Amino acid sequence: MAAEPPALRLQPPGSTGDSLPVPRLLGGCVPLSHQVAGHMYGKDKVGILQHPDGTVLKQLQPPPRGPRELEFYTMDELRVCYPWSSEGSRKPDQPCTSVQVYAADCADTVLLELRKHLPKYYGVWSPPTAPNDVYLKLEDVTHKFNKPCIMDVKIGRKSYDPFASSEKIQQQVSKYPLMEEIGFLVLGMRVYHVHSDSYETQNQHYGRSLTKETLKEGVSKFFHNGFCLRKDAIAASIQKVEKILQWFESQKQLNFYASSLLFVYEGSSQPATTKSNDRTLAGKFLSKGHLSDADALECNNNYHLFGSPANGTSVGKSLSKVYARHRKLYSKKHHSQTSLKVETLEQDNGWKSMSQEHLNGNVLSQLEKVFYHLPAGPQEITEVEVRMIDFAHVFPSNTVDEGYVYGLKHLIAVLRSILDS
The DSSP call for residue 221 is G
Stretch 270-298: mean pLDDT: 40
- With a cut of 60, say whether residue 374 has pLDDT above it: no
Stretch 374-393: mean pLDDT: 77
81-131 pLDDT tens trace: 555 454 433 444 555 556 899 999 999 999 999 999 999 999 999 988 888
The per-residue pLDDT for 366 is 56
User: 352: closest CA among 391, 307, 313?
Assistant: 307
Beta strand 148-155 with 184-193 is antiparallel
The per-residue pLDDT for 82 is 56
Highest mean pLDDT among 226-230, 247-251, 281-285: 247-251
168-227 pLDDT tens trace: 999 999 999 999 999 999 999 999 999 999 999 999 999 999 999 999 999 999 999 999
The per-residue pLDDT for 381 is 62
The per-residue pLDDT for 131 is 87
What are the start-end ranges of the E strands in 127-248?
135-138, 148-155, 184-193, 198-202
The per-residue pLDDT for 322 is 39
The per-residue pLDDT for 63 is 92
CA dist 421 and 399 (Å) reads: 36
Q: How sure is the predictor about 17, in pLDDT bands with cuts at 50, 70 and 90?
A: very low
12 vs 146: which has the higher pLDDT:
146
Stretch 147-153: mean pLDDT: 96
- Tell me the HSE value of 185 on the side-chain side, using a 13 A CA sphere: 27
Stretch 239-265: mean pLDDT: 98
The per-residue pLDDT for 380 is 54
Q: How sure is the predictor about 281, in pLDDT bands with cuts at 50, 70 and 90?
A: very low
Report the Cα 36 to chain-centroid distance in Å: 10
- With a cut of 80, say whether residue 364 has pLDDT above it: no
**Alpha-carbon dihedral of residues 184, 121, 123, 106, nearest 10 degrees?**
100
Stretch 286-315: mean pLDDT: 38
Residue 361: which region, alpha, beta or left (left: phi > 0; alpha: psi -120 to 50)?
A: left
CA dist 97 and 154 (Å) reads: 20
- With a cut of 60, say whether residue 377 has pLDDT above it: no
Side chain identity, residue 290: H
Instruction: Return the percentage of the chain with pLDDT > 70, whole number.
Output: 59
329 vs 263: which has the higher pLDDT:
263
Stretch 236-252: mean pLDDT: 98
133 phi/psi in degrees, rounded to 5: -85, 115
Stretch 290-310: mean pLDDT: 38
User: 12: closest CA among 272, 187, 193?
Assistant: 272
- With a cut of 50, say whether residue 7 has pLDDT above it: no
Q: How sure is the predictor about 257, in pLDDT bands with cuts at 50, 70 and 90?
A: very high
Helix (H, G, I), strand (E, B) or coil at 388: strand
- With a cut of 80, say whether residue 301 has pLDDT above it: no
Q: How sure is the predictor about 24, in pLDDT bands with cuts at 50, 70 and 90?
A: low
The per-residue pLDDT for 367 is 52
- With a cut of 50, say whether residue 357 has pLDDT above it: no
Lowest mean pLDDT among 75-79, 247-251, 264-268, 276-280: 276-280
Report the Cα 209 to chain-centroid distance in Å: 20
The per-residue pLDDT for 151 is 96
Can you list the domains of the chain with their CATH numbers? 26-80+97-270+383-420 (3.30.470.160)
User: 223: closest CA among 58, 415, 421?
Assistant: 415
Lowest mean pLDDT among 64-73, 162-171, 261-270, 405-414: 261-270
179 vs 290: which has the higher pLDDT:
179
Instruction: Return the percentage of the chain with pLDDT > 90, whole number.
Output: 52
Is residue 338 within 8 Å of 416, Cβ to Cβ?
Answer: yes
Residue 189: which region, alpha, beta or left (left: phi > 0; alpha: psi -120 to 50)?
A: beta
Q: What is the chain's mean pLDDT, rounded?
A: 75
